[in-house]
Amino acid sequence: MSDDRVVLITGGAKGIGRAIALDLAGAGWSVAICYRASEKEAGETLQAIQQRGPRGLALRCDVSRPEDAEGLVRQVEQTWGRLDALINCAGPYHRVDLLKETVQGWHAMFDNNLHPVFYLSRATAPGMIARKWGRILSFSMATADQMVAQPQLTAHYIAKVGILILTRSLARVLAPHGITVNAISPGFIDSGSAPPEELAAMEKRIPAAYVGSTQDAVQVARFLLSEEARYVTGANIHLSGGWGI
């Protein structure tokens, strides 16, 4: 990958987003991470980025607000003159029985998981089209393509299904311009978002017999961002060790 590329990673302060940010910084990318509440973690991640790569930014933004999401993209473009890759890692969730879900909680899952992918992709696309090169990656979840019942995660799950449809639609629209759009669908990944005992309990349900690491996500993202993946678009790559298939 070229050492003059610029990437914006939402949810880049922690977990998978952080791991990808550090990997790309080490490969020479200029890396901007976006966070909303994780200020301490964002500062630590920015310091690690700057130790590995040429340039880093940590920007606070509520990407559920369309005007703020667009402003975030413009800020990165104005700072570094371009934006070559967008990685949508932000994806908060909560567990609640469907019939006990509130209207506010229902809307929050779409506002924070699905809508920002549209806002940010729409804002990022013109610059990529002008340069005839770009990469957009979004994170869904294993089994989202099967549309199975999720009584405790219904709104979050529907939003992740929506990401797959949006990914394929964007891929069709942007392919003529040298831009690829793909999704990664993790199963159980030790990213710090789930208690270790919960992950350990899930091992027996994973055909590979172990929980994945953030490095597994890094490897897939690295490929999809590369020139080797120039003909891969509209794909949904399961990152689950066989769980959910």
Is the alpha carbon torsion for 5, 6, 8, 12 positive or negative? positive
Is the alpha carbon torsion for 212, 214, 217, 222 positive or negative? negative
Q: Do 72 and 122 touch, CB atoms closer than 8 A?
A: no
Distance of CA 54 to the CA centre of its chain: 22
Pick the catalytic residue from 35, 119, 157, 210: 157
Residue 58 DSSP SS3: strand
Q: Establish whether 157 is a catalytic residue.
A: yes
Distance of CA 76 to the CA centre of its chain: 17
Residue 8, both tokens:
């914006």
Residue 227, both tokens:
């020139």
Residue 184 DSSP SS3: strand
Residue 110 DSSP SS3: helix
* Residue positions annotated with a catalytic role: 157
